[in-house]
Amino acid sequence: MIKRSIIAFVLLELLLVLAFSVRAAVLPQERADVMYHSYQGDGMDIKGPSILLRKQIGNKFSVSGNYYVDMISGASIDVLATASPYEEERTEHSVGVDFLHNKTLMNLNFTSSSENDFEARSVHFGISQDFFGDLTTLSMGYSKGWDEVGKRGDENFLEHADRQQFQLGLTQVLTKSMIMGLTFENISDEGYLNNPYRAVRFADPSSERGFRFETEVYPNTRTSNAAAINLNYYLPYRASIYGEARIFSDTWGIDANSVKLGYIHTFGDDWILDFRVRHYQQDSADFYQDLFARSAEFNFRARDKEMSTFTNLSIGLSVTYEYQFSQSSWFSKATINYELDHLRFQYDDFRNVLADGPVGEEPLFEFSANVTRIFASLWY
């Protein structure tokens, strides 16, 4: 009933937007991107390609397609503690269409993701509108997702989870050199939300190591809210600074916040340098513990390190070389890009069970990771 009310409100909103359109929106730029990505850290090596194509059809439609692959070889702390290293591949396909009608821009996207133990499908509808003399852009979105969760080595294991997301965004031109963005997103999950490979540990003095592992148990619903503010400021020379602050809270008791600051510098017309720093902090879920006192101590229990209390700090650098084609060319411009982020995670209540130490007093876990993107983009 409540969900219906919200959906009705959003639909009413869309009708109002259509009825009171005040300015022509524009279709996204036609471009092609080919990227190689790599994540290395905590024994995980994930890499693969991503290809994005976007083409305009007439003056009203723009279509896009994205092909993305993760090739994963895993030997993270979670895997080494309770299972064996593994290799797998995830393939994701996305198709979308943008539609310009009565000066309003709408988009519809469908995404499917497939791996040997996980299938996910999602559909997204979004709408955006410029108004107040083009100084303000309001955007809204709704997504619905369906997951099928399997488990390697257990052909009979099959669980489901559904997800829906509401997004609301506002972009505001503040001055001729400053722009601000506000974003709010609500996400609700229902179904099997565990990771079937993760386990909790509990004290067992009779075992050789003094503890044993058992399956995690999560609640089968989760609702989260996140809100973010962005600011971009153009400096007196051709450079800019930007910042983002985000807060997050969910019904599992996780509270988090992140702050990002960046500086973009240009050298001539061809080179763009982007330097950024990001800090993230979260408090653990209510049902998280590194070590439970006994087996099945509580109804819900997790020892997934993404549910623990931790911070991470990342430092990133991007270098872009841009080439402008002549006006008679089929292409308008091209870029070659290299991006690297170095991350450092430090956990406050997740211990390294592979290290020596009395049970529950092992060293706290920490690790570093590098996230690399190398890609070329072509506008036409």
Partner 1 sequence: MMNKLTIKTCMMSVLLASVLMTSGCASTFEPWVKPYERDNLADPIMAMNRNPVSFSYTMHAFQAREGARGAEGGAGGGCGCN
| 22 near partner 1 (CB under 8 A) | yes
Nearest approach, Cβ of 208 to partner 1 (angstroms)? 26
Instruction: For residue 82, count CB atoms less than 10 angstroms from its CB and return exposed for 0-12, middle for 13-18, buried for 19 or more.
Output: middle
Nearest approach, Cβ of 154 to partner 1 (angstroms)? 14
| 9 near partner 1 (CB under 8 A) | yes
Among residues 55, 60, 144, 238, the one that binds partner 1 under rule CB under 8 A: 238
Near partner 1 in 40-69, by CB under 8 A: 44, 46, 50, 52, 66, 68
Nearest approach, Cβ of 269 to partner 1 (angstroms)? 11
| 97 near partner 1 (CB under 8 A) | no
CA distance linking residue 162 with residue 188, whole number of Å: 8
**Closest to partner 1 by CB, 201 or 232:** 232
| 234 near partner 1 (CB under 8 A) | yes
Nearby residues of 8 by Cβ (< 8 Å), 6 or more positions away: none
Among residues 116, 207, 215, 223, the one that binds partner 1 under rule CB under 8 A: 223
Six token digits for residue 218: 């999560």
Six token digits for residue 255: 């509270």
| 145 near partner 1 (CB under 8 A) | yes
Near partner 1 in 271-300, by CB under 8 A: 272, 280, 282, 285
Among residues 136, 220, 332, 368, the one that binds partner 1 under rule CB under 8 A: 136
Nearest approach, Cβ of 201 to partner 1 (angstroms)? 17
- Judged by CB under 8 A, the stretch of 203-211, 221-229, 346-354, 358-366 that binds partner 1 is 221-229
Among residues 75, 80, 81, 138, the one that binds partner 1 under rule CB under 8 A: 138
Near partner 1 in 110-129, by CB under 8 A: 111-115, 118, 120-122, 129
Among residues 159, 359, 373, 380, the one that binds partner 1 under rule CB under 8 A: 373
